[in-house]
Structure 1
Amino acid sequence: MILSGRGVTAVLGPTNTGKTHYAIERMVAHGSGVIGLPLRLLAREVYTRLVEKVGPTHVALVTGEEKITPPNARFSVCTVEAMPRETKAAFVAIDEVQLAGDLERGHIFTDRILHLRGREETLLLGAGTMRPILEKLLPGITVIERPRLSTLFYAGQKKITRLPQRSAIVAFSADEVYAIAELIRRQRGGAAVVLGALSPRTRNAQVGLYQSGDVEYLVATDAIGMGLNLDVDHVAFAQDRKFDGYQFRNLNPGELGQIAGRAGRHLRDGTFGVTGQVAPFDDELVERIESHHFDQVKVLQWRSKALDYSSLRNLRASLDVAPVVAGLTRALPATDSQALDHLSRYPEIVDLATTPERVEKLWEACALPDYRRITPAQHADLISTIFSDLVRIGWVNEDFMAEQVKRADRTDGEIDTLSARIAQIRTWTYVSNRPGWLAHPTHWQEKTREIEDRLSDALHERLTKRFVDRRTSVLMKRLRENAMLEAEISVNGDVFVEGHHVGQLAGFRFTPIAGTEGPDAKAIQGAAQKALALEFEARAARLYACGNNDLAIGSDGSIRWLGEPVAKLSASDHIMHPRVILLSDEQLTGNARDHVAARLERFVNHHIATVLKPLDDLSRAEDLQGLAKGLAFQLVENLGILFRRDVADDVKSLDQDARASMRRYGIRFGAYHIFMPALLKPAPAELITLLWALKNDGLDKPGYGDLIPALAAGRTSVVTDPTFERTFYKLAGFRFLGKRAVRVDILERLADLIRPLLQWKPGTTPRPEGAYDGRRFTTTTAMLSILGATPDDMEEILKGLGYRADAVSPEEAQAHLASQQPASADASAAEPAEGDATADSDASSDENVSANEAPTQVEAQVVEAAHAEAGEVTASEEPKPVLLWRPGGGRSENQRGARPQGDRRGQGQGQQRQGEGRRDQRNGGERGEQGNRNNRDGGKPNRDRNDRRAEGRNERPRNERQDRGGKTPQPARFEAKPPRKEKPMDPDSPFAKLAALKEQMKK
């Protein structure tokens, strides 16, 4: 045992003092040298640096798993375990000598410190805590303390997602490392991963990923504390406890300082701290780490070098020998001694290990590292197999080895699977590099190295794919470099920055791709915004110069340019002039934004003025005066439709000139409505509905947009939906009438069919279809046809319009028709007289149904009743009564209480004044002005007292109920409230003139 320090120099100090660099410079100054390093990864790094200095032919690399030994090599780079026991080299250096106190590997470092010397110079490199023990064990040693080149500061506690760039996060389990790396990938674009279990090639690739700046974060175990030279600005501890192979324990200040010291390189200061999962360091610990004052190493781990191979028992006893020198302590059983203990209990091993040579061979086999981290018994089984082959056949059975290597030669699977295969192949790489263990070592060295490299590359790829977002990392790197990003935009709006798909550009809004959040999303958006600045300017210029055909207004109030939303409409003070709100990112500013806004406002105003031209022209009419101007204003406010009953007084007061001036603007005075037929087309109706919905928050109300398709399909009536907002029916051009809604222009055609039936007088002209007695009428085929309704629907519609029904029995109706038959039979074959209402062109042109092509409903019911009397109808079937309709006074039962709140126009309710639809032949020939002037002025046609008393009552007629006494059911009439007081008859009305004519005839 050498216990002298003469010729030995200890270079001690904290991290970042340049100790390793100093050793390399000293070694190349000698003719030969050997340097031992704690990690294969670090050995690779030093080997590369030496090759750059003296060339590859002069440098050898020797580790347990790899040997590069040029014939003329002068310098050797080794792991400490692979250093020769004796050497003739002029220079020897041992790095990280403080590991001599490590419970697992310490005895190997102690052996090299005490026994290995260079002929000319020996350097021991390590922490300052080794000075007292080295001076004690090696008297005369020269100690050089090197100060740290930069300062280390404590930064306190920070969340992982708020750590600065160029940070290393330290944890002590693979699961925790992976979890942190996944979190950083989502939040910051990605992280490199360094674990002790990774192969050197994989660790080198991950470190290269970090060093090149592709990622800004490194997540690692305490492996980074062992001499890895990294450009780390901040070290954050995500854990402060670790499993040391025997128990879980807190890291001591020296271990924390060794890891924290990785922050700051050369003259650049560094910081350290903890994450949110670790309690902040106390002031004393912080001061010790910042000043590098740690507990001195008091003892070194030691194991006897003088081993007795005469027997297994003697070998085990020699391993248990205690040191005799103060400052050394017997090491705990390492992996090799644990394997020897297990194998000593195997009978087959005891039978084979009978000579010193075989015992020594067994001890050599026990040095096989446990890369797989399996149980000691399983590891001992593998060593037993290898030792048996070495003894029986002189080398490891290559068939067995080929089978084991083949199992590992697969690159599929995820991170854990590939890590397990790498550990397995590293075992066989170690076997192939042991001298004398294989018959063809070169073949197996090349094969296992190739497989390990391939697995390492696959593992690096999986780690990168899982923990690095390449798109974000590249963008962040380019942003740090302050470089102009190259952006491309596809025809469908996909945005590519530096070749990476970063999101979608629709109009003037950029949407990052899904799955990004936090600072990651901000980085992507920042990159895209910086690159798309010119694109926004160009788009603004193109929109400003585009035609109206490139712009459209959607039913949701959005304004689209070439199909992409660029703005939306919002309510304003005037319903015909909505506000335009741009949908754009902040990049659209200045003149470009003003030009876009002005162009869209100009388009909206033009679109409304074009589609709603009749309404727009009416709002600007200057030739209307007095009541006509007021009525036009109301019509504009109600978007083109008014119920005539709501403005009856104003209409009555209009003279013919005023009416003619309003007709020139496309206004029609109908029996039920004052409206503009041009606005009943789908496009105007849709725009009117949208404008009302914007003003009244109706875009989300039920029924919005559902009635326009019916209008576009040419439907004259639709079945109503009670859940719909009733106003939408009126805005779409329909009148809500109970179970059905009818288009308003069709209702005016219905009035044209009803009017001549009420004006007909028995004995004057042939009876038109549907006429009954001059005061009442029945529904006709033509009425059902134009409304697309059933008889039941027709009953609902007429009641909704204010008509009242008298129910009579079929016998009574037949008798009445029979009494009129002689007078009407002669005229039935005659052609309709010119100007007769049944020959009305509006009614016949669409339906092509004449009054003489089908029997009337009354006649059909009479025939049906006759068949029933003849026994063709069962007794249980009661003939349906015939409904005779007449104008009513007051709203119908199904309308009472139906006025929706806020509808001042009272849609679907109120008294319907009949006879207002006669067209003025002198001013356009419109029948809507013709009618009973008595009704238009608020009066009622002449009726008997019983009719007036029955007006307005909506109850089931008595003749629909079977008389219990068997008597013939009598037809019941609808009863009403007492009639209103009759107004004086207008002397200018047709009824007044007709009454005067009758009086003259009587005289």
Structure 2
Amino acid sequence: MYEYQIGKTGVAWPALDTIAGLRNAADMRHPAELYPEARRLHRKIIMHVGPTNSGKTYNALRALAAAKRGVYAGPLRLLAHEVYTRLNKGTILPADIDRDPNDPDKLHPRVCNMITGEEKRILAIDAPLASCTVEMLQTVVHYDVAVVDEIQMISDPNRGGAWTAAVLGLMADELHLCGEASAVPIIQSLCEATGDELVVNDYERLSPLQPADEALGNDFSVLREGDCVVAFSRNRIFALKRRIEEETKFRCAVAYGMLPPELRAKQAALFNEPGNEYGVMVASDAIGMGLNLKIKRVIFETTKKWDGTKEITLTLSSIKQIAGRAGRFSLGQDPSAMGTVTAILPHDLDVIKLALQIPTRPLKRAVIAPSPDQLRALLQLLGPKAQPSVVFEMLPYLARVPNMFTLTDMRAAMEASALLESGEDDRLSLDEYWIVLYVPFNSRDFVVAEAFRLLTSSYKDDGVAPLEATLLAIGVFEDYQRVSKMRKKYERPDRKEDPAVFAHILPRLESMHRVLIAYLWLSYRLPTAFHEQPRAFELKEDLELCISFYLRELGTQQHAGKKQARVAEPVDADAVFEEEEDEFADEAYEDEIEADEFVESSPPTARL
């Protein structure tokens, strides 16, 4: 018998006796067999694929609205809330009902619950419909109709495993998958493995999308109502907002990944209201998903973004997703309904025109994640002294995965584990560990990461996790109180102080919001320890008012950095889009300086 150590963990393995067992436990070659109940059904999988603003999701939702029992699952809380609201209001016409020409606006309400990681809205225990984020789907419930949105996310390295589990595991007679046509080959391969019937419905845009003949240039006086200027960092967004408000008659709504979803929706409402002074939006690629915006023209400040190590050109999928937000069908069929896309610089407009001409490349692989049972089996084989982080570190070396799949990115789980495994004497039980590991937080936000460490340490040491003490310890609660006090004072007519003095606090308020989201997530799963849920909701609501106050009153106190000159150069398709591949899913939804916005619904592991 020989022993050796792996990586940084320092855990000794009995080489001959254990490796075979570990390889067997990490065998992921037949993922469809993990869902025997779904395999007993002969499911009909219906894909609705096409560009943005093609009506593909609405047609799937009509089938859901007609179902006796059904579920919608999307990548964002915003989407889950939107579907929840529309179904309960009855604004989605069920597929088995024709629109009444004498009463075209007749409503058809259905009772629908909403379940996301950090919020539950239960209107009725026996509600026939539910709307949720993808990670919250239940594969043990039999549905007549299930709708899974943004199916191209099946290749996202962090969250794609949740989409793969939904496609393989949902017990639905009809499973509707909505998204980009790039996902069709992957779904075809999965259906061959499961034996399910597959129908593919292709959609075209309901209103045309046209690139402008010329770039906008540096003259912001030509901006008009319905324009959306897209930039890729918070600093640039606020610098553009400030300049536009100084040089035009418009005020600017804003939307970006770190802005809480509830406030993105409110900013969208300001922009969408006809005749509102908020005639222009300045946003990141967060507008590409989850917001209904009446954008007439999309203007790219640039077609490059920082990926954390270098500046890269936006991917084909990202450019199309953002550009496609222009020209909403609901604007009408008059010529103004045509969507237009342009850029500030001519070279960027050339890149956009080329991207719109090139077909989106098929996704190569679906992402697969280990099941909780597999993780438990691996940990058991490693012995009582092994920490779960060992499993995350070694799994990429042990897992056997079919060619059509790729293993989920384990880095987020390893980062969360590093914060949890602080000592031997206060270890969590395995059940507690798995619960806490799923908390939606991003370690790149140091304020949130420190709050996660303090909350889990308090839970391990004392069995309870104090909310306000944690907020005070990370230094954000006093900032919040100052802005909250100022907000209430400024609602009086005799305001005198300049709110610019608090401009630097916005990122800290955003971090505090994420801490509250994480606390609420834990309060549903460990209610005795995280027992201050009412207070967390109260703080969350007031904090959102504070951030709205900042966006309204402080506006654009961020100053632009020095802008680097960019020289126009010939556009070559292979060179411009050489980094396309499967990485599009991350890049399409991240801001240059922001944590991944999808962390709002996505824990580190499911992500596992």
**Cross-structure match for 1:338:** 415
SS of the residue 2:349 aligns to: coil
Match of 2:62, SS state, is helix
Whether 2:358 is the aligned partner of 1:328: answer no
Alignment of 1:471-870 (within 5 A): none
1:896-915 matches, cutoff 5 A: none
Letter in 2 for 1:136: S
| TM-aligned CA distance change 1:10 to 1:274, over 3 Å | same
Listed one character per residue, the Cα deviations across residues 673-700 of structure 1 (whole Å, up to 9, x for unaligned) are: xxxxxxxxxxxxxxxxxxxxxxxxxxxx
Structure-2 residue corresponding to 1:157: 215
Are the equivalent residues in 1 in contact too, given 2:230–2:300 (CA < 8 A)?
A: yes
1:76 aligns with 2:130: yes
Greater alpha carbon shift after TM alignment, 421-430 vs 140-149: 421-430
Higher relative contact order (CA 8 A, sep 6+): 2
Q: Residues 55 and 336 of structure 1: is their aligned pair in 2 closer, same or farther, counting only changes over 3 Å?
A: farther
Amino acid at match of 2:412: T
Corresponding residue for residue 123 of structure 1? 176
Secondary structure at the aligned position of 1:279 is classed as helix
Alignment-mate amino acid for residue 361 of structure 2: D
Residues 1:465 and 2:553 are matched in the alignment: yes
Q: Distance in 2 between matches of 1:56 and 1:400?
A: 44
CA pair 91-245 structure 1, distance change in 2 beyond 3 A: farther
In 2 relative to 1, CA 438–318 (structure 1 residues): closer, same or farther, beyond 3 Å?
A: farther
- 8 Å CA contact 2:420–2:456 kept in 1: the answer is no
1:326 Cα shift? 1.7
The correspondence for 1:304, drawn from 351, 370, 378, is 370
Alpha-carbon separation, structure 1, partners of 2:62 and 2:525: 35
User: 1:368 — aligned with what?
Assistant: 439
Q: C-alpha offsets along residues 716-766 of structure 1, whole Å, 9 cap, x if unaligned?
A: xxxxxxxxxxxxxxxxxxxxxxxxxxxxxxxxxxxxxxxxxxxxxxxxxxx
CA distance in structure 1 between the partners assigned to 2:201 and 2:310 by the alignment: 36
Q: CA deviation at 1:154?
A: 0.7
Letter of the structure 2 residue corresponding to residue 293 of structure 1: P
Amino acid at match of 1:281: L
* TM superposition score normalised by structure 2: 0.68
Q: Is contact 1:199–1:422 with CA below 8 Å preserved after alignment? A: yes
Q: For residues 616-655 of structure 1, what are the alpha-carbon distances to aligned partners after superposition, in whole Å with 9 as ceiling and x for unaligned?
A: xxxxxxxxxxxxxxxxxxxxxxxxxxxxxxxxxxxxxxxx
Q: 1:119, 1:295 → 2: CA distance?
A: 29
Q: Which digits, 9 at most, give the CA deviation of each residue in 1:182-208, with x for residues without a partner?
A: 111112221110011111221121111
For residue 44 of structure 2, what is the amino acid of its counterpart? G
Question: RMSD of the alignment, in Å?
Answer: 3.0
Aligned to 1:282: 350
Give the 3-state SS of the residue equivalent to 2:263 in structure 1.
helix
Offset of residue 418 of structure 1: 3.8
Structure 1: gaps spanning 5 or more residues? 469-1003
**Counterpart in the other structure of 2:317:** 254
Structure 2 partner of 1:2: 32
Residue 348 of structure 2 aligns to a residue whose secondary structure is coil
Give, in angstroms, the shift of residue 229 of structure 1: 1.8
SS at match of 1:282: helix
Name 2:187's counterpart in structure 1: 134
Corresponding position: 1:421 with 2:509: yes
| Selected match of 1:145 from 198, 202, 216 | 202
Cα distance in 1 for partners of 2:504, 2:326 equals 29
Residue type of the alignment partner of 2:413: D
Letter in structure 2 aligned against 1:297: L
Matches within 5 A, 1:97-246: 97-115=151-169, 117-139=170-192, 140-155=197-212, 156-159=214-217, 160-188=220-248, 189-213=250-274, 214=276, 215-244=278-307
CA distance in structure 1 between the partners assigned to 2:503 and 2:128 by the alignment: 39
Quote the Cα distance in structure 2 between the aligned partners of 1:85 and 1:102: 21
How far apart, in 2, do the equivalents of 1:73 and 1:318 lie? 43
The answer to whether the 8 Å contact 1:368/1:427 transfers is: no
Q: State the SS of the aligned residue for 2:347.
A: coil
Shift of residue 408, structure 1, vs aligned partner: 6.5
Cα displacement string for residues 470-513 of structure 1 (whole angstroms, at most 9, x for unaligned residues):
xxxxxxxxxxxxxxxxxxxxxxxxxxxxxxxxxxxxxxxxxxxx
Instruction: Write the distance in 2 (CA, Å) between the matches of 1:202 and 1:150.
Output: 28
Q: TM-score, normalised by structure 1?
A: 0.42
Matched to 2:538, the amino acid is: E
Separation in 2 of the partners of 1:282 and 1:383? Answer: 45
Cα distance in 2 for partners of 1:258, 1:292 equals 13
Q: How far apart, CA to CA, are the structure 2 residues paired with 1:243 and 1:103?
A: 18
Q: 2:392 & 2:338 partners in 1: Cα distance?
A: 50
The alpha-carbon deviation at position 380 of structure 1 amounts to 5.5
**Structure 1 CA distance for aligned equivalents of residues 507 and 543 of structure 2:** 8
CA 1:35–1:440: 2 relative to 1, 3 Å:
same
Structure 2 counterpart of 1:31, from 50, 68, 75 = 68
Give distance in 2, aligned partners of 1:15 and 1:304. 32
Secondary structure in 2 matching 1:169:
strand
Q: In the alignment, residue 348 of structure 2 is paired with which amino acid?
A: P
Asked if the contact 1:222/1:259 (under 8 Å) is kept, the reply is yes
Q: Secondary structure at the match of 1:30?
A: coil
Unaligned runs of 5+ in 2: 1-30, 34-38, 91-106, 381-385, 487-500, 557-608
Partner SS state of residue 198, structure 1: coil
Q: CA deviation at 1:77?
A: 1.4
Partner of 1:13: 50
The 1:398–1:449 alpha-carbon spacing in structure 2 relative to 1, beyond 3 Å, is: closer
Contact 1:395 1:436 in 2 (8 A): no
Deviations 1:134-155 (A, max 9, x none): 1122224221111111211111
Cα distance, 1:217 vs. partner? 0.9
Measure the CA separation in 1 of the matches of 2:554 and 2:57.
Answer: 34
Task: Indicate the SS of the match to 2:532.
Answer: helix
Which SS does the other structure have where 1:47 is aligned?
helix
Instruction: Find the counterpart in structure 2 of residue 273 from structure 1.
Output: 342
